[in-house]
Structures are given as C-alpha cells and as structure tokens.
C-alpha cells in the first residue's frame, strides 16, 4: 500500500494525537464512524495494532518500510524499540520537520522531494535518508526555497528543538549533533507493543 493521502483528522480521531501528521486538533474526541462513541473492549492484538498504526501514520512510512526498519532495529545493539524510534526520528524528512522548516512531516517530505533542502552542501531529494551526527542541513540557496521555508517557520509544528539538533534561523542552517534521546520523541507511544506485534509476523 502506498503512502496515506486521505483525510488526516479522521486518523487523528481514531489513533489520538499525531504531531507529525497534522497540526489541527479534531472537534470530536471519539473515533469516526457509526460505532465511534460506543465503548468497546479492545483485544491485546487491537492495542498492539493501534500502536503500530500510530507509528506508521505519524512518520508517513508504508508497511513494507516499517518492516524493514524493524529488521534493522533488531540487528542494532540495545533495545529494539528504542533503535526503531531512533531510525525513524533520524530520517531526513523528520529532521527537517523537527528543525521547524515545515509544519508537518508530509510537508517536510515535500520540501525534500522538491529539492529545497541540502545536506552537507549537496541537494538531496530522498526523504528516507538517515541523518548522521555531523550532517549539516540547510535550505537551498535560492529565493523560492528560502521564502517557502520562511513562511513555514512562522507556524512550526513543534515548539521545542530537540537536544540533538541546532538551528540558526537567520542563515537557515541546522546541524545534527548526535542521535536523538528517547525523551525527545514527540509521539506518545509504547514501542515495546510494536516490537511484540512484529515478533509474530517478521
């Protein structure tokens, strides 16, 4: 299945707050549909599936990509859940979003895909690029790119800049200093449930 392009608030109502997907908050705080308000008992599987869907929709990755990230996280040392979140957080589109250059992760992906962002002085249009400590991320040196990012910076998606990043608003240059810490992940999620969900499938 390709990337989700449907109504975002519908997903937010079903799964809860997703800071990467949408800045808007829904007027109704129950899931959409005929049975949205009915209190139903959820199974263990349903709870794990919901956590997985939160991760997928927030970071805008497909099921196939997420399985690939799970396999990569398993090979890493330490906690699989933490390694998975670090892999997703260090994607270029998410890093652009966290620097405040775009209001949402889909908006950041569009900036990257359209060639408005440079990494270490080179234009890079691959949203899934894994940022490494020492990478310098900046806006392409042309008026259209700068105007676009300036407009986005007036309404950033998240107020606080994570400790692993630094950003100069005048020059529009950001730097990755280290790998993100778990407490700076903005999404409220239980990554252990996601690892459990995939332990039976992958």
Q: Domains plus CATH for the chain?
A: 8-87+186-199 (1.10.1050.10), 91-178 (3.10.290.10)
pLDDT of residue 1: 44
Give all strands of the β-sheet with 136-139 in edge-to-edge order. Answer: 122-123, 117-119, 136-139, 173-176, 165-168
User: What does the pLDDT look like over 65-121, one tens digit per residue?
Assistant: 999 999 999 998 888 999 999 999 999 999 998 888 888 888 889 999 999 999 998
User: 102, exposed or middle or buried, with CB in 10 Å at 0-12, 13-18, 19+?
Assistant: buried
pLDDT of residue 149: 87
User: What does the pLDDT look like over 122-174, one tens digit per residue?
Assistant: 999 899 999 999 999 999 888 888 888 888 888 776 767 888 889 888 888 99
pTM of the full structure: 0.85
């Amino acid at each position: 299945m390709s990337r989700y392009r449907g109504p975002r608030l519908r997903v937010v109502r079903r799964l809860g707050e997703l800071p990467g997907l949408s800045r808007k908050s829904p007027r109704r705080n129950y899931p959409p549909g005929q049975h949205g308000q009915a209190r139903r008992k959820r199974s263990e599987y349903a709870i794990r599936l919901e956590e997985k869907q939160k991760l997928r929709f927030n970071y805008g990755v497909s099921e196939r990509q997420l399985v690939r990230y799970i396999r990569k996280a398993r090979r890493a040392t330490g906690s699989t859940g933490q390694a998975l979140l670090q892999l997703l957080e260090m994607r270029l589109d998410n890093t652009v979003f966290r620097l405040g250059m775009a209001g949402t992760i889909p908006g950041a992906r569009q900036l990257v895909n359209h060639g408005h962002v440079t990494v270490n002085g080179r234009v890079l249009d691959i949203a899934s690029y894994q940022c490494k400590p020492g990478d310098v991320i900046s806006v392409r040196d042309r008026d259209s790119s700068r105007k676009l990012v300036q407009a986005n910076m007036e309404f950033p998606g998240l107020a606080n800049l994570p400790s692993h990043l630094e950003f100069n608003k005048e020059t529009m240059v950001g730097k990755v200093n280290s790998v993100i810490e778990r407490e700076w992940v903005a999404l409220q999620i239980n990554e252990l449930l996601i690892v459990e969900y995939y332990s039976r499938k992958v």
